[in-house]
Structure 1
Amino acid sequence: MNIGEFRHLITIKKQIVEQDINGFEIKKYDIHATLWAKVSNLHGKEFFEAAAIQKEKTVKFTIRSVKTLDETMKIEFQGKLYDIIFIDNIKYENKYMEIKAIEVSISG
C-alpha cells in the first residue's frame, strides 16, 4: 500500500453518555483519534450492491490499523458524519484496516 495515498484527515468519534442537570442521559461523541486515510467512493459492483439497499452514500476509508476501533464509533470527514458499518483487518496482517461507512445527519 502506498502511504502517499493517505492524504485525507479523518476524525474517529466515540460515543459517551453524560447526564444533564436533570439526570437525563445525553449521548455525545468525543474525539477518539485523528488519522490520515485513503478515502474512496464505492464503484462498480460495490456501488450497485449498496444502491440496492439504499446505501449509496457509502464511503470506504483505509487507515493504518487501530486496535481500539469498533462499529459503534463514527467518522467525521469534510464536515460530514459517517456511521461505521464494517471494519476489515486487511489480510489479517494488523497493518491496515478498510472501513465502510455510510453518511448520516450531523446531529447524530
Structure 2
Amino acid sequence: MNFSKLDKRIKFISTIGENGVDEDGYKIEGTKVIRECWASVRGLRGREFYNAASIQSQEDKIFNCRYFEGITTKMNILYNNRKFNIYSINDLEEKHIEYEIHAKEVRKSG
C-alpha cells in the first residue's frame, strides 16, 4: 500500500437509535464517530462505473484506508460533509493492512 496516497480525511460513524444509551445510562440519539483516519477516495471507473450505472449507483465511491478492527457495513462514512452508506468492505489480500470500501452517497430527499 502506498500510504502517501492517503490524502483525504474521513470519519467512520455509527447511527445511534432510540435504544442507544451513553456510559451513564442516558438515552441518546444521533451519530457517534467510531474512527477518523486518512484515506484515498476515488469514483468508479471503467467496468465498475458501467456496472454501477446499470443499477443507477453512479454516486458510489471507493475509499482505501489502513486496516483497523471493528468496521461493519452498518457504519457510514463522512467525507467532505457528505454521508456514504458502506455496502462492501474488502480486507485486501486478507493481510490486515488495507481496506477497500465501496460506499454509496446518501442523497437527501426533498
Question: What is the TM-score normalised by the length of structure 1?
Answer: 0.87
| Distance of aligned partners of 1:26 and 1:56 in 2 relative to their CA distance in 1, 3 Å threshold | farther
| DSSP-derived class of the 2:17 partner | strand
Q: CA RMSD in A?
A: 1.9
Task: Tell me the distance in 2 between the aligned counterparts of 1:29 and 1:87.
Answer: 20
- Give the number of aligned pairs: 102
Q: Which structure has more strand as a fraction of its residues?
A: 1
Which amino acid is the alignment partner of residue 61 of structure 2?
V
Which amino acid is the alignment partner of residue 96 of structure 1?
E
Gaps of 5+ in 2: 20-26
Gaps of 5+ in 1: 20-24
Question: What is the TM-score normalised by the length of structure 2?
Answer: 0.86
Contact 1:81-1:106 at 8 Å conserved across structures: no
Once the two structures are aligned, what percentage of the paired residues are identical?
Answer: 28
| Distance of aligned partners of 1:30 and 1:106 in 2 relative to their CA distance in 1, 3 Å threshold | farther
| DSSP-derived class of the 2:51 partner | helix
